[in-house]
Chain A
């Protein structure tokens, strides 16, 4: 039987290559995701290893990777003196580190773009666990006093600074921008990669003066062990010396914990990419099921002959599965190679947007290879299983029959199963709406999946009226050629449906995301329009924090009535994360309309919070209840003083508290938004000009009016949407291949019929147009089903997450119509190859073919 299998594979190279291509693309996505995140991980691991000393001392609970809002705690410098007395300590150095210090290049632009962190620290000559110094001087000298800084080589290079230049820096402190002399350039760690982060080295005294109110404190202390002393021994010794609230860990533990935190974040990136890989695989599955189904159908007679010659059902069945195995294996192998290229491309792309992975190599881990092969081969074989089983069922007598046919599942049964799944899906969604939080979303998601599968099963039946409708149009525009194209699409409803379903899956998701995006934008508009009364806003395009000094300076501007700062942070509430917003309750009313449902805004103090309505109901909290929020510095109790509505406002996080309340919780005072209200008589232009002057040196923050602020927020949504479109594009590419494949196979199957059409006078052009129309019919069917399902899912999901801020439903009808038109275009594209093939058939050979 192996000979038969191999011969078949060789005889159907093109057809199988097309279905293998679906596997190639899917596996490439899977492998590429793993390789890329692994190499990101390598880059970060390198940094962690290069910056961690034998023993690390930090405030307890500090250094969590997913902390939002900067920990304000420090360790007194006297601790360093105490540690130096320990006999096991060879070297002890304290580091005062500040985040949010950015380098402004000679061109006035931010170095590295918005995203990677800007770190500032003093350098005490510390050595990493690898035994290397953490910094090495590449040029000049280290700063020794105020007014001097050193930069990492890459940052200085991008900024265009040379030793001796005046460097412009943005800081989170006061003043918010400053100039300093560049005295030296440093290389970081052994590999030199900083993953796009910038490093500014200050003199110890000066950094304490600038950012720690002149206190002699550090944010961390690093120790190197003396000869013969282990990390654990030194750690245990250090623990006896340090004050309460300070945590001592060995370098190994510390590095492991940091790597774990980073791995968690990279895991999210990986999962995000893998979700799209999975979508591509699902779409690929449709393609493979269809290809094998068609191949088996075309080979009915041959399979029957094998049965008649004594092959058992299982043998026939297995010979088809063996073909699938080989296809899966080949596809996966090429896919892994392509994935490697994809990862290199992603790395280059990240380099362009500022995330420089430096020398970090692309690593092909065994895990990646195994996962890729398993996914590729298993998906192919699963997809081929049903066609293989059908192949085994061909009765041997069919070998004698001229028009042998493999038994097919009845359309009625498909409709019933599909309908059942749709009903089950609707029920799941219904139940989902009675639950809240993640349970609700999981149930709704499961419901969507059931409906999607159900509709693709039933598509063979429900697609008929759609195709017939298109047929009416075709008949008018293309006459007989149109009629033939329509009839061809209706001839094999399962095949048409499976091909269209592949496109449907992609378009359902694209439509769903478009509706959510449009709704998010409409909700942003509504929130800003209805609840924002402040005329002007200062913000950072990517939501990074900025110095509170700006608020103070802007208050002094003539014509400014009030400035309302908004700060954000997160904290643990029980096991989950709660998002906090802090502001000045007295100034709130001048900038924002916040309709408080229960309690009063006026009763907000440093020890009370207001809670969002949806959070209150899911956490079963009411006015007067106590709630404990855990910050890096420790837990704090708050009393709930009021409840504000869930949706449609400018404030849309779980809790609202005072600026003082947040500072007392150990979070550094840094603003993320300023809402500015001007005096009624003041000219907007004059006020803007004055504020722009204050912000002039700092490209990270900008002043805008309400409309510009809304546009900035909506721009973020669009960017995200385009990334999603690009990732879903792969699924669409695979679906297009599916259409090409199905049509190419149909052309082969209908050789004789095509020959007849040509013999009785159909021109090549007409023939091509017939196949194009058939392809377009499939594509439009898939697009219409996808858009329709996408609209249903979009509306349902918007309703489900309305409480989380997307409270306006907006359907981008024009965009959806464009999708359908584009799908029709895709249909034309998919038909190019099969149409050419059909047109080139030799009439005489075609008509006399078996």
Chain B
């Protein structure tokens, strides 16, 4: 059986370069009969200054894709390029430095350091690197996430929404190449969730930040510029300027009729 190649060629808008690229990455776990293929030859570009959502049913490989893109996991084969750096064969030290300098994270479970104040948490990646943010940029980020009066509070003294805003501030402060957000609204009620999403949207529009967000919430996806759909470890579709209605339809279609072949709208170029 010939390898099925599913890829989304970068539909380059004028002046847009890819901030992160996956080139034919495959990620398998286990061996022999217990072999699980989480990603199957995926190629995708995430454009600079764009807000992209990665969607798909459970087990579709969307988290694995994000982990590989964010230098938290290494693909079994294929290449990941972050900015102008190819991740192949980098050692732990180089990967650590890369995450510190080029990647920002927002996790579903906030993942703040409980012993540090909100401000210290926001500054953490930069202070680990031994750098300080420009004061004006720091003020901009803090006012954007709306934490001005909470800076001295510890995570336990903050609501879930506030904690996630701290996490978002942390991801943005070092102006990383890409911010990866893993179900950032998963633990929040809808109004707190909407607040985070508005903030992420704003940071793309106003600061030109590149954001890749893994989500299964069509409402969240509607805040993005582009949605990439995964199923069974392959990219099966993508949608520009999504609305929650369209995303919902696509999602139910994906979970009811898992495509045996790549879905028609996706062009399948020759390798």
Instruction: Pick the residue among B92, B111, B128 that contacts A480 (CB under 8 A).
Output: B128
Asked if A760 meets B170 with Cβ closer than 8 Å, knowing A844-B67, A847-B72, the reply is: yes
Asked if A760 meets B114 with Cβ closer than 8 Å, knowing A843-B72, A844-B73, A847-B107, the reply is: no
Asked if A480 meets B127 with Cβ closer than 8 Å, knowing A752-B111, A760-B170, the reply is: yes
Alpha-carbon gap, A487 to B116, bound state (A) = 7
Instruction: Pick the residue among A488, A763, A766, A843 that contacts B115 (CB under 8 A).
Output: A488
Q: Which A746-791 residues have C-beta < 8 A from chain B?
A: 752-753, 756-764, 766
List the B side residues contacting A295 at CB < 8 Å: none
Asked if A491 meets B114 with Cβ closer than 8 Å, knowing A844-B72, A847-B72, the reply is: yes
Q: Are A760 and B92 in contact (CB under 8 A)?
A: no
> From residue A843, how far is it (CB to closest CB) to chain B in Å?
6
List the A side residues contacting B116 at CB < 8 Å: 483-484, 487
Q: Are B96 and A764 in contact (CB under 8 A)?
A: yes
Residue in A closest to B102 when the chains form the complex, CB atoms: A761
Contact indicator per residue, chain A 465-505, by CB within 8 Å of chain B (1) or not (0): 00000000000000111011001101100000000000000
Alpha-carbon gap, A357 to B235, bound state (A) = 82
Contact indicator per residue, chain A 626-645, by CB within 8 Å of chain B (1) or not (0): 00000000000000000000
Q: Are B114 and A758 in contact (CB under 8 A)?
A: no
| B15 CB–A CB distance under 8 Å | no
Asked if A753 meets B113 with Cβ closer than 8 Å, knowing A480-B124, A761-B128, the reply is: yes
Q: Which B99-148 residues have C-beta < 8 A from chain A?
A: 99-101, 105, 107, 109, 111-116, 120, 124-125, 127-130
Q: Are A763 and B96 in contact (CB under 8 A)?
A: yes
List the A side residues contacting B96 at CB < 8 Å: 758, 761-764
Alpha-carbon gap, A757 to B128, bound state (A) = 9
Q: Which A607-654 residues have C-beta < 8 A from chain B?
A: none
Q: Are A760 and B99 in contact (CB under 8 A)?
A: yes
Alpha-carbon gap, A488 to B111, bound state (A) = 16
> From residue B188, how far is it (CB to closest CB) to chain A in Å?
15
Q: Are B100 and A483 in contact (CB under 8 A)?
A: no
| B97 CB–A CB distance under 8 Å | yes
Asked if A479 meets B113 with Cβ closer than 8 Å, knowing A759-B105, A761-B97, A847-B72, the reply is: no
Alpha-carbon gap, A479 to B100, bound state (A) = 16
Contact indicator per residue, chain A 824-848, by CB within 8 Å of chain B (1) or not (0): 0000000000000000000110010
Residue in B closest to A761 when the chains form the complex, CB atoms: B100
Residue in B closest to A766 when the chains form the complex, CB atoms: B128
Instruction: Pick the residue among B72, B73, B101, B113 that contacts A757 (CB under 8 A).
Output: B113
Asked if A847 meets B111 with Cβ closer than 8 Å, knowing A487-B116, A759-B99, the reply is: yes
List the B side residues contacting A487 at CB < 8 Å: 113, 115-116
List the B side residues contacting A481 at CB < 8 Å: 128
| B93 CB–A CB distance under 8 Å | yes
Residue in B closest to A486 when the chains form the complex, CB atoms: B115
> From residue A760, how far is it (CB to closest CB) to chain B in Å?
4
List the B side residues contacting A752 at CB < 8 Å: 109, 111
List the A side residues contacting B120 at CB < 8 Å: 483
Q: Are B92 and A484 in contact (CB under 8 A)?
A: no
Alpha-carbon gap, A764 to B94, bound state (A) = 11
> From residue A758, how far is it (CB to closest CB) to chain B in Å?
7
Q: Are A761 and B72 in contact (CB under 8 A)?
A: no
Contact indicator per residue, chain B 158-175, by CB within 8 Å of chain A (1) or not (0): 000000000000100000
List the A side residues contacting B129 at CB < 8 Å: 761
> From residue A566, how far is it (CB to closest CB) to chain B in Å?
66
Count chain A residues whose beta carbon lies closer than 8 angstroms to a beta carbon of B: 24
Contact indicator per residue, chain B 83-96, by CB within 8 Å of chain A (1) or not (0): 00000000011001
Asked if A756 meets B111 with Cβ closer than 8 Å, knowing A483-B120, A761-B100, A761-B101, the reply is: yes
Alpha-carbon gap, A764 to B93, bound state (A) = 8
List the A side residues contacting B99 at CB < 8 Å: 759-761
Q: Are B128 and A764 in contact (CB under 8 A)?
A: no
Q: Which B148-198 residues have C-beta < 8 A from chain A?
A: 170
Number of A-B contacts (CB under 8 A): 71
Q: Are A753 and B114 in contact (CB under 8 A)?
A: yes
Asked if A490 meets B115 with Cβ closer than 8 Å, knowing A759-B105, A760-B99, A844-B72, the reply is: yes
Asked if A762 meets B128 with Cβ closer than 8 Å, knowing A844-B72, A847-B72, the reply is: yes
Asked if A484 meets B113 with Cβ closer than 8 Å, knowing A761-B99, A761-B100, A761-B101, the reply is: yes
List the A side residues contacting B101 at CB < 8 Å: 761
Residue in A closest to B180 when the chains form the complex, CB atoms: A759
List the A side residues contacting B70 at CB < 8 Å: 759
Residue in A closest to B124 when the chains form the complex, CB atoms: A760
Q: Which A139-189 residues have C-beta < 8 A from chain B?
A: none
Alpha-carbon gap, A201 to B124, bound state (A) = 84
Asked if A491 meets B115 with Cβ closer than 8 Å, knowing A760-B105, A761-B129, A764-B92, the reply is: yes
List the A side residues contacting B100 at CB < 8 Å: 760-762
Asked if A759 meets B115 with Cβ closer than 8 Å, knowing A480-B124, A481-B128, A764-B92, the reply is: no
Chain A CB within 10 Å, residue with most, of B101, B115, B120: B115
List the B side residues contacting A761 at CB < 8 Å: 96-97, 99-101, 125, 128-129
Contact indicator per residue, chain A 112-137, by CB within 8 Å of chain B (1) or not (0): 00000000000000000000000000
Alpha-carbon gap, A277 to B101, bound state (A) = 54
Asked if A760 meets B128 with Cβ closer than 8 Å, knowing A843-B72, A844-B67, A844-B72, the reply is: yes
List the B side residues contacting A760 at CB < 8 Å: 99-100, 105, 124-125, 128, 170
Residue in B closest to A755 when the chains form the complex, CB atoms: B111
Contact indicator per residue, chain A 202-213, by CB within 8 Å of chain B (1) or not (0): 000000000000
List the B side residues contacting A756 at CB < 8 Å: 105, 107, 111-113
List the A side residues contacting B112 at CB < 8 Å: 756
List the A side residues contacting B93 at CB < 8 Å: 763-764
Alpha-carbon gap, A480 to B116, bound state (A) = 10
Chain A CB within 10 Å, residue with most, of B97, B101, B129, B170: B129
Chain B CB within 10 Å, residue with most, of A480, A488, A490, A764: A480
Residue in A closest to B70 when the chains form the complex, CB atoms: A759
Asked if A479 meets B130 with Cβ closer than 8 Å, knowing A487-B115, A764-B92, the reply is: yes
List the A side residues contacting B111 at CB < 8 Å: 752-753, 756, 759, 847
> From residue B164, how far is it (CB to closest CB) to chain A in Å?
14
List the B side residues contacting A491 at CB < 8 Å: 114-115
Alpha-carbon gap, A756 to B101, bound state (A) = 15
List the A side residues contacting B115 at CB < 8 Å: 484, 487-488, 490-491
List the A side residues contacting B113 at CB < 8 Å: 484, 487, 753, 756-757
List the B side residues contacting A488 at CB < 8 Å: 115
> From residue B227, how far is it (CB to closest CB) to chain A in Å?
24
Q: Which A369-420 residues have C-beta < 8 A from chain B?
A: none
Alpha-carbon gap, A188 to B204, bound state (A) = 98
List the B side residues contacting A766 at CB < 8 Å: 128
Residue in A closest to B92 when the chains form the complex, CB atoms: A764
> From residue B167, how far is it (CB to closest CB) to chain A in Å?
10
List the A side residues contacting B107 at CB < 8 Å: 756, 847
Chain B CB within 10 Å, residue with most, of A479, A483, A761: A761
List the B side residues contacting A479 at CB < 8 Å: 127, 130
Alpha-carbon gap, A508 to B120, bound state (A) = 38
Alpha-carbon gap, A490 to B130, bound state (A) = 23
> From residue B128, how far is it (CB to closest CB) to chain A in Å?
5
Task: Known pairs A491-B114, A759-B72; list 7 more (Cβ under 8 Å).
Answer: A487-B115, A756-B105, A756-B113, A760-B105, A761-B125, A762-B96, A764-B93
Instruction: Report the 5 A-B pairs with minimum CB-CB distance, sorted nearest first.
Output: A761-B100, A487-B115, A480-B127, A760-B125, A756-B111
B interface list, Cβ under 8 A from A = 67, 70, 72-73, 92-93, 96-97, 99-101, 105, 107, 109, 111-116, 120, 124-125, 127-130, 170
14 residue pairs of the A-B complex, CB under 8 angstroms, read A484-B113, A487-B115, A752-B109, A753-B111, A756-B105, A759-B99, A761-B96, A761-B100, A761-B125, A761-B128, A761-B129, A762-B100, A763-B96, A844-B73
